Amino acid sequence: MTPQDALKKIARGTTEIISLSDLEAKLKEGRPLVIKAGFDPTAPDIHLGHTVLLRKMKQFQDLGHKVVFLIGDFTAQVGDPTGRNELRKKMSLVDIEKNAATYKAQVFKILDPEKTQVVFNSHWLNKLTPQDLLELSAHLTVAQMLARADFKKRFESGKEISLLEFIYPLLQGFDSVHLKADVELGGNDQKFNLLMGRQLQEAYGQKPQVVLMTPLLEGTDGVNKMSKSLGNTIGINEAPDDIFGKVMSISDELMLRYYEILTEEDIAAIQKMHPKEAKLKLAQTIVEMFYPTSEGAKARAHFESTFSQHQIPENIPEFKIAAGQKLVDILVVTNLVASKNEARRLIKEKAVSHEGVSVSDENWPLMPGILKIGKRRFLKLL
């Protein structure tokens, strides 16, 4: 593949590259580049939002470059302040180590284990002396930090900002110095931290890394960034049927975005397909990213048999979701169950499903789609 073709492949699904000309020049050098992406193990499960970066890493890997999967076990103790409107609770070392272990097990569903270097930033950050930290902190001013939108908002509203949070971007930037990164990948909300890597590399006499940013993937609600705390994730370790059903529950607009960010399909060709067929294809494709091809076909067959037209009556009741409503309340008010206790019992017995996915608890995030209660009761949520 020519450097121009490689650049076109890499640039798809990105929001910004700093700079495109620098990346093209690096690709023309004809040597394996050091590609870095860091993940703080703040939760045990990797979801589709994480895979946006992992897939980009795999593209570099397939082009023959050196991919470094950095687990921020040290920086997780500090806590990334990006997008935060309050102090982050400190994580315990036990939880960090546990989450880091599961990260390692999951990433190789996408990355080639034989071509991936897994590193922990505690290995070098723990060795920094007080003198090292003083020298590092000299490269960042308070004015720079308070210019950040998230810090500025917190400062102006009187909310606390710890000095520890000021340290985070310096530590992430020093990771790039230590690894001599040529390219660092990150979400577009990470721009400040990623640029800090460039700044520090120049200060330490290195050629600055290229910063490649990817969009934040919306969750199944179609509004918010995919996040475990919001209950809108699709985890890569979930069962094939659950992954398939969750993908089928997203809107047609979000479906096209998933295609662009998560696959290499021709978007123009997808837009010519019937929306339902396109979504079935997407759901099967995503299942097959993490499971054998046969599992994707089985998940599709299961979904189609469960939600085929002859099983869902034509004139099923509809209900418009309102903010703050709970699933058990909706089931009662629509007369699909006699009481909240019955609703909770059916949920506990896995007799309630949403778009083919079993509802796990009564706090299941409500979103548009078909609810199935038992074998013959249906409700269309709007």
**Which residue type occupies 364?**
W
Partner residues linked to 308 by β-bridges:
none
d(CA 366, CA 206): 50
pLDDT of residue 88: 52
Dihedral angle sign, alpha carbons of residues 167, 170, 172, 178 = negative
Bond before 19 cis per omega within 30 degrees: yes
Residue 311: predicted pLDDT: 63
Position 308 scores a pLDDT of 59
User: pTM for this one?
Assistant: 0.72
CA separation, residue 265 to residues 13, 260, 278 (Å): 12, 7, 11
Q: What is the homologous superfamily of the domain 313-382 according to CATH? A: RNA-binding S4 domain (3.10.290.10)
CB 42 within 8 A of CB 76: yes
Domain span(s) for CATH 3.40.50.620 in the chain? 3-214
Residue 79 confidence (pLDDT): 60
- Stretch(es) of the chain classified as CATH 3.10.290.10: 313-382
Rounded mean pLDDT for each run of 10 residues along the chain, 382 residues in total: 85 89 90 91 81 92 93 76 52 77 82 90 91 86 71 76 78 93 91 88 93 90 81 87 88 88 90 89 94 92 72 77 85 86 85 79 81 83 86
**Fold exhibited by the domain 3-214:** Rossmann fold (3.40.50)
